[in-house]
């Protein structure tokens, strides 16, 4: 895909503000419920006394939005606030919300975070020898790898799966490992996992969450499920 600033020197670009953002059409298929949780660890702005503040910003975008935002462009856009003065935090959130909404054609939720939720109790797929994992448990796969289709660089994640019905350990392990050289965005990877588990095992209640490692101070964490109320909150394996 063509991008406005990716691969170009920032000081040679005359693009700024909302114009920095690149959008990509979604490829969502048969997804009943879903959100993308963005954690921005290095968000800086100035208060009305021109004192800088560094905060963690959470952005939640519905999987029903017409577009997703390319992550490098989101980083450049959010980094542009480092020297901007705001009277209060709601003013900042409103500005970002309006900019994103106008591009993705859907609602956006934002807040500043003081801490993440605690990682749920789980069965580690990498260590378990259970051939058939009974329903009602949360399964964790540690060591997911895929390839970014824009930069061709690897992305790494932990994958969390809740299924109301039993799942095969060997099937899951082989399937999730098969993504190691697969080129796709975080959102599409999680949707593929969700759809293939749903097709193969037909559970009544299924939820899949990707907890991707941060790149450039941002991590993207898609959640896809069969139910409107999500089990997986915005948690991290390492909660510092």
Catalytic position from the list 42, 47, 99, 148: 148
Q: What per-residue confidence (pLDDT) applies to 4?
A: 58
Catalytic position from the list 22, 36, 155, 219: 155
Identify the structural domains of the chain with CATH numbers, from first to last. Answer: 19-113 (3.30.1130.10), 119-227 (3.30.1130.10)
Q: What per-residue confidence (pLDDT) applies to 129?
A: 92
Average pLDDT of the chain, as a whole number: 90
Q: What is the pLDDT of residues 116-155, one digit of tens each?
A: 999 999 999 999 999 999 999 999 999 899 999 888 899 9
CA distances from 164 to 121, 126, 132, 197, 227 (A): 16, 20, 13, 12, 12
Residue 240 has pLDDT above 60, yes or no: no
Is residue 189 flagged as an active site residue? no
Please compute the mean of the pLDDT values over residues 165-183 and round it to a whole number.
95
Please compute the mean of the pLDDT values over residues 182-194 and round it to a whole number.
92
* SS3 sequence of the chain: CCCCCCCCCHHHCCCCHHHHCCEEECCCCCCCEEEEEEEEEEEEEECCCCCEEEEEEEEEEECCCCEEECHHHHHHHHHCCCCCECCCHHHHHHHHHHHHHHHHCCCEEEEEECCCEECCCCEECCCCCCCEECCCEEEEEEEEEEECCCCCCEEEEEEEEEECCCEEHHHHHHHHHHHHHCECCHHHHHHHHHHHHHHHHCCCCEEEEEEECCECCEEEEEEEECCCCCCCCCEECCCC
Is residue 148 flagged as an active site residue? yes
Residue 3 has pLDDT above 60, yes or no: no
The residue among 137, 15, 28, 130 whose CA lies nearest residue 76 is 15
Q: What per-residue confidence (pLDDT) applies to 183?
A: 85
Q: What is the pLDDT of residues 76-95, one digit of tens each?
A: 999 999 999 999 999 999 99
Residue 105 has pLDDT above 80, yes or no: yes
Please compute the mean of the pLDDT values over residues 159-174 and round it to a whole number.
97
| 124 in Cβ contact with 142 (< 8 Å) | yes
Residue 10 has pLDDT above 50, yes or no: no
CA atoms within 13 A on the CB side of 117: 11
- Local confidence band at 237 (pLDDT 50, 70, 90 cut-offs): confident
Q: What per-residue confidence (pLDDT) applies to 150?
A: 82
Please compute the mean of the pLDDT values over residues 11-16 and round it to a whole number.
52
Q: What per-residue confidence (pLDDT) applies to 199?
A: 94
Q: What is the pLDDT of residues 21-70, one digit of tens each?
A: 999 998 766 677 999 999 999 999 999 999 999 999 999 999 989 898 99
Q: What per-residue confidence (pLDDT) applies to 28?
A: 66
């Amino acid at each position: 895909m063509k991008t406005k600033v990716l691969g170009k020197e920032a000081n040679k670009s005359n693009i700024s503000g909302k114009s920095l953002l690149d959008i990509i059409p979604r490829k969502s298929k048969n997804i009943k419920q879903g959100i993308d949780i963005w954690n921005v660890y290095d968000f800086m702005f100035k208060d009305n006394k021109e004192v800088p503040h560094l905060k963690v910003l959470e952005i939640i975008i519905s999987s029903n939005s017409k577009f997703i935002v390319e992550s490098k462009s989101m980083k450049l856009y959010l980094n542009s606030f480092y020297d901007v003065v705001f009277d209060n935090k709601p003013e900042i959130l409103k500005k970002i919300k309006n900019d994103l909404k106008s591009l993705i054609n859907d609602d956006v939720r934002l807040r500043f975070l003081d801490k993440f939720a605690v990682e749920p109790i789980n069965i580690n797929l990498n260590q378990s020898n259970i051939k058939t994992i009974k329903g009602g448990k949360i399964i964790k796969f540690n060591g997911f790898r895929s390839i970014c289709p824009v930069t061709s660089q690897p992305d790494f994640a932990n994958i969390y799966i809740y299924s109301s019905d039993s799942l095969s350990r060997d099937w899951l392990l082989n399937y999730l490992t098969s993504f190691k050289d697969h080129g796709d965005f975080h959102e599409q990877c999680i949707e593929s996992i969700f759809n293939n588990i749903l097709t193969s095992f037909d559970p009544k209640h299924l939820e899949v969450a990707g907890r991707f490692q941060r790149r450039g101070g941002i991590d993207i964490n898609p959640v896809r499920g069969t139910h409107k109320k999500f089990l997986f909150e915005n948690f991290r394996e390492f909660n510092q």
